[in-house]
Amino acid sequence: MLGRKDETTMAKTNLTLDQPKKESYLLVFMLNHEDSDSTPFKLNRDGYDFIRFGGTKDYRSLQSMLQTLKRKGCVVNGSYGSWILTAKGVKDAEHWMKLCDRKRVKPSLAGKNGGKDRTSLEEKLAMVEAELDGLRVEITMANHTNEYLDEQNNLLREENSKLKKKIELIQQLLA
């Protein structure tokens, strides 16, 4: 019978990336992607690579995994289907990589002072919120433009019907 310390040692040495939950594997995949590409994880571009490597069975389950990670505070949804690791997500991914005896593709990205060089979550959220505010303004402007055009269209229809009546009267007088 193995003691507690021996079981822990065996678990660490035999651990592979197949053993963690798929969400943890996705975190590791996203961390490696951010380190190697320096861009956020794009669902429509990088998601298919994750599926092709056997991370999940299809696009829908990948979306579900990302939503689960979002609820856990590991990722944040950026704009246009991009996903960014939070500090918690980076920490969890590094934990799994350490257990699997893997190293980050670009550890210098974490910075010399423990990751403080990375853009903070608050800054990323502020950027997303600013973009959302901009989109809300554009939608409001488009709605007002649409209302204005509808009013103009109605005025033109009324004017057109008045002109038709005048033409009919003139034709009756000429006949």
Domain residue extents for the chain: 4-118, 119-175
pTM of the entire predicted model: 0.50
Cβ-count burial 161-174 (b if 16+ within 10 Å, e if not): eeeeeeeeeeeeee
E strands, 33-168, where?
41-42, 75-77, 82-85
| Block mean pLDDT (10 aa), the chain, length 175 | 37 46 82 77 82 82 86 83 85 82 57 49 71 79 89 94 94 88
The answer to whether residues 85 and 93 touch, using CB atoms and an 8 Å cutoff, is: yes
Residue 69, classed as helix, strand or coil, is: helix
Residue 152 has what pLDDT?
A: 94
List the CATH code of the domain at 4-118: 1.10.10.10
